[in-house]
């Protein structure tokens, strides 16, 4: 398939056509003027000068001698056109050989054609040089960007479109570089957070297990309490490690979505059921607003994982004695039928400057460390990847003591 011309190519082609047309018109006018002057003024004088310079000497003869000369020419097969003849009033005749001049005259018209073609060649070479100069400027600009991404792009106005495109690419490249640096910094912070968060439950597990080992005579009730605490901290440690490996896996490959018809309302209820013990410990009520049935083509396991991560985040930030609401409703997603799952909590808000970053793979809100069961800051990133794999999106709003995560997923059609 033929590739369409770029906007810059179309502009250059148009300008080249205009320049060449103007140059040809001017050249044609100059050639016409030169030929007119040469034919009417300079040409005859120059031709006579050449003729006088290269022709033979005049030879004077009477009429009888001239007749004899003509017979000799005919016998030798020579043309009288190769001689210039002047007849005088006294009957004498002057003759001179102009063969060399006539030979030179034969090259007059080819020479004129060559001169015209030479002028056209000059026009072509000038325009070709201009085009090559554009390529040279573009090459220098691109090489400059390779050496210094922040270098100023210096291109002539005729390449303004390419200059704009290179500037846009430069800005994107610099933005990507800044984003990569920010991600690297967040990743380093994540490692520090993980080291701290893993050390805390690990220290508790080791401490309580040491107490159990060193005090075999502890009362049964106290032993059970220490065992429960150690187990609880070990479960939290396992969650942190699994969360880290999950986000690493999602970074390395696309999330496979295996769709099948699922009752999303029942799926939401099952996710909520799994968090009732955690909610009960914090005296938080999980309130459900679900239809009797809502069928959709989704990956049940993946969607449950995404909702679980959002629900866990909501319970981590919700204040004691409040409610976490889970709502399912039909909506339009990008103009197509779909559904929305809203999980809303009352408690610690997300700062406005951090809302845009909550789904970044290595982002962790500073307040997350103040929670008792704060994760590694990866759960929302995983949820976001899963929802995107379903062709949907997640919206988040936070204010007036409430934070709401809204999962939007369009109905899947083959």
pLDDT digits (tens, 9 = 90+) for 104-161: 778 777 887 888 888 888 888 887 887 778 777 777 777 777 777 777 777 777 777 7
Strand arrangement of the beta sheet that strand 93-97 belongs to: 59-61, 93-97, 83-87
Is residue 236 scored above 80 in pLDDT? Answer: no
The mean per-residue pLDDT over the stretch 4-23 comes to 77
- Report which listed range, 69-73, 301-305, 368-372, is most confident: 301-305
Residues 6+ apart with CB under 8 A from 5: 13
- Binned at pLDDT 50, 70 and 90, residue 332 comes out as very high
Both tokens of residue 186?
Answer: 């967040």
CA distance 9 to 162: 9
Please tell me the distance from the alpha carbon of residue 228 to that of residue 231, in angstroms, as a whole number. 5
Percentage, residues of the chain above pLDDT 70: 87
Q: What is the mean pLDDT of the chain?
A: 81
Q: In the structure, what pLDDT confidence band is assigned to residue 4 with cuts at 50, 70 and 90?
A: low
When pLDDT is averaged across residues 263-289 and rounded to a whole number, the result is 92
Query: What is the arithmetic mean of pLDDT over 174-188?
Result: 78
Token pair 């994540």: residue: 190
Residue 332 carries which DSSP code? E
The 10s digit of each residue's pLDDT in 204-221 is 788 888 888 888 888 888
Residue 181 has pLDDT above 50, yes or no: yes
Residue 179 CA to residue 198 CA, distance in Å, equals 27
> How many other C-beta atoms can be found within 10 angstroms of the C-beta atom of residue 55?
17
Give the pLDDT score at 392.
93
- Rounded distance, CA 178 to CA 172, Å? 10
Confidence at residue 310, expressed as pLDDT on a 0 to 100 scale: 92
**pLDDT recorded at residue 39:** 76
**pLDDT computed for residue 5 by the predictor:** 60
* Nearest alpha carbon to residue 361 among 382, 389, 388, 340: 382
Q: In this predicted model, which residue has the larger pLDDT, 396 or 378?
A: 396
pTM over 0.85: no
Alpha carbon 94 to chain centroid, angstroms: 86
Q: For 314, list phi and psi in degrees, rounded to 5.
A: -65, -45
Percent of the chain surpassing pLDDT 90: 20
pLDDT in tens, 79-93: 888 888 888 888 888
The answer to whether residue 38 scores a pLDDT higher than 50 is: yes
| Euclidean distance between CA atoms 402 and 348, whole angstroms | 8
84-93, 197-206, 306-315, range with the lowest pLDDT: 197-206
The pLDDT of residue 367 is 47
Q: Which domains does the chain have, with CATH numbers?
A: 7-147 (no CATH), 163-253 (1.10.287.130), 257-410 (3.30.565.10)
């Amino acid at each position: 398939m033929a590739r369409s011309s770029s906007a810059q190519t179309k502009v250059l082609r148009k300008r080249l056509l205009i320049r060449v047309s103007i140059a040809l018109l001017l050249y044609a006018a100059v050639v016409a003027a030169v030929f007119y002057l040469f034919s009417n003024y300079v040409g005859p004088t120059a031709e006579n000068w050449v003729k006088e310079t290269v022709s033979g000497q005049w030879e004077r003869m009477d009429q009888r001698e001239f007749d004899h000369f003509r017979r000799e020419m005919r016998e030798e097969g020579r043309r009288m056109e190769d001689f210039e003849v002047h007849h005088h009033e006294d009957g004498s005749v002057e003759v001179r050989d102009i063969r060399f001049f006539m030979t030179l005259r034969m090259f007059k018209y080819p020479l004129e054609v060559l001169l015209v073609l030479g002028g056209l060649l000059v026009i072509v070479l000038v325009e070709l040089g201009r085009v090559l100069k554009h390529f040279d400027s573009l090459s220098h600009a691109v090489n400059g960007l390779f050496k210094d991404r922040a270098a100023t792009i210096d291109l002539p106005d005729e390449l303004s479109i390419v200059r704009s495109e290179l500037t846009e690419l430069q800005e994107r490249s610099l933005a990507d570089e800044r984003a990569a640096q920010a991600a690297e910094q967040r990743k380093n912070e994540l490692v520090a957070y993980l080291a701290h968060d893993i050390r805390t439950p690990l220290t508790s597990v080791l401490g309580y297990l040491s107490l159990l080992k060193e005090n075999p005579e502890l009362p049964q009730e106290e032993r059970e309490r220490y065992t429960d605490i150690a187990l609880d901290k070990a479960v939290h440690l396992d969650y942190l490690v699994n969360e880290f490996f999950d986000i690493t896996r999602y970074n390395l490959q696309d999330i496979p979505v295996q769709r099948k018809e699922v009752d999303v309302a029942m799926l939401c209820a099952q996710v909520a059921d799994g968090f009732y013990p955690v909610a009960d410990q914090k005296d938080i009520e999980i309130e459900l607003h679900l239809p009797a049935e809502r069928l959709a083509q989704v990956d049940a396991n993946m969607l449950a994982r995404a909702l679980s991560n959002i629900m866990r985040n909501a319970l981590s930030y919700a204040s004691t004695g409040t409610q976490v609401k889970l709502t399912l409703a039909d909506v339009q997603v990008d103009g197509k039928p779909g559904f929305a799952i809203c999980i809303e909590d009352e408690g610690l808000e997300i700062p406005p400057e951090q809302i845009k970053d909550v789904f970044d793979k290595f982002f962790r809100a500073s307040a997350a460390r103040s929670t008792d069961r704060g994760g590694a800051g990866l759960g929302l990133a995983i949820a976001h990847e899963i929802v995107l794999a379903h062709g949907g999106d997640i919206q988040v709003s936070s204010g007036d003591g409430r934070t709401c995560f809204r999962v939007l997923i369009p109905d899947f059609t083959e």
